[in-house]
């Protein structure tokens, strides 16, 4: 039997293959999840608005409106819901497009129920518990992060980050100047390292940088080519955001309280 970590979450499954849909619903219900089902994009959007699920399991290949487009529309209305895309094996382009559309994670067909439940639990657990229990205030330049309430501001203006984006930024800001590999970030934020071999981290980092670029006078996240990322406070325009491997310099990030 698959071990369950999070058993009270509501999940919306969006899958046009009824046999697969019913199998997923049956197995996830056995793990204690609340389940709702949709077979197309229009139905999924209606249920997402009405039910406000904790997580949406969304197939890329849907009749009519694609899963990618459905994800984009969901994100315009709900920044907090976790979206996990279901993609075909080795469909790298679908994975990237899904992440760019706002998905938090993905599973690749064919997958086992153990893997799926582990991914779901990891996303739910990291989203609602891990960062929140630290309860730290992090400040650097004009950036302000509250890891208990999942709020991020630049020059007093909210950044509007999604849960995984906030998690990545907080994971980096908590250890200023320290080089973090994609695998390390994946373990901290997603709960598993497999995502680090994909472009998941890069897509999320790009979205964080875009949000900061609109409201901050500084650049915070810097790429160390071939190795990962580091958090370091620099005036905007001083660097291009990418560097060769070198010794880290400490950024002025000050944790206050718990």
pTM higher than the cut 0.95: no
Interatomic CA distance for residues 205 and 168, integer angstroms: 8
16: Cβ contacts below 8 Å, ≥ 6 apart? 39, 40, 59, 61, 62, 63
Per-residue pLDDT 10s for the chain (258 aa) are 333 333 357 899 999 999 999 999 999 999 888 899 999 999 999 999 888 888 999 999 999 999 999 999 999 888 888 999 998 766 788 888 889 999 999 898 888 999 999 989 888 876 654 444 435 678 899 999 987 778 899 999 999 998 889 999 999 998 899 999 998 998 888 876 666 555 788 999 999 999 999 999 999 999 999 899 999 999 987 655 456 555 444 444 555 554
What domains appear along the chain, each with residue ranges and CATH number? Answer: 10-130 (3.40.50.2300), 137-256 (1.10.10.10)
120 membership: H or E segment, kind and range: helix 113-125
| Contact (Cβ atoms closer than 8 angstroms) between residue 194 and residue 122 | no
């Amino acid at each position: 039997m698959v071990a369950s970590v999070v058993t009270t979450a509501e999940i919306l499954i969006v899958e046009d293959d009824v046999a697969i849909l019913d199998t997923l619903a049956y197995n996830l219900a056995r793990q204690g999840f609340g389940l709702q089902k949709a077979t197309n994009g229009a139905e999924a959007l209606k249920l997402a608005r009405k039910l406000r699920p904790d997580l949406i399991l969304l197939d890329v290949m849907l009749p009519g409106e694609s899963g990618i487009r459905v994800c984009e529309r969901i994100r315009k209305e709900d920044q907090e819901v976790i979206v996990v895309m279901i993609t075909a094996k080795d469909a790298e382009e679908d994975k990237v497009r899904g992440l760019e559309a706002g998905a938090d994670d993905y599973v690749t067909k064919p997958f086992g129920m153990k893997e799926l439940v582990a991914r779901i639990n990891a996303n739910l657990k990291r989203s609602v518990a891990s960062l929140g229990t630290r309860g730290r205030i992090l400040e650097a330049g004009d950036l302000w992060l509250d890891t208990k309430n999942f709020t991020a501001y630049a020059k007093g203006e909210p950044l509007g980050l999604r849960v995984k984006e906030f998690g990545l930024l907080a994971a980096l800001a908590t250890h200023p100047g320290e080089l973090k590999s994609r695998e390390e970030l994946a373990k901290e934020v997603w709960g598993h390292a497999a995502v680090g071999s994909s472009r998941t981290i890069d897509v999320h980092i790009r979205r964080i940088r875009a949000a900061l670029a609109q409201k901050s006078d500084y650049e915070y996240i810097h790429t160390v080519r071939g190795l990962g990322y580091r958090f370091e406070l620099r005036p905007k325009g001083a660097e291009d955001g990418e560097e060769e491997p070198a010794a880290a310099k400490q950024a002025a990030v000050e944790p206050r309280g718990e």
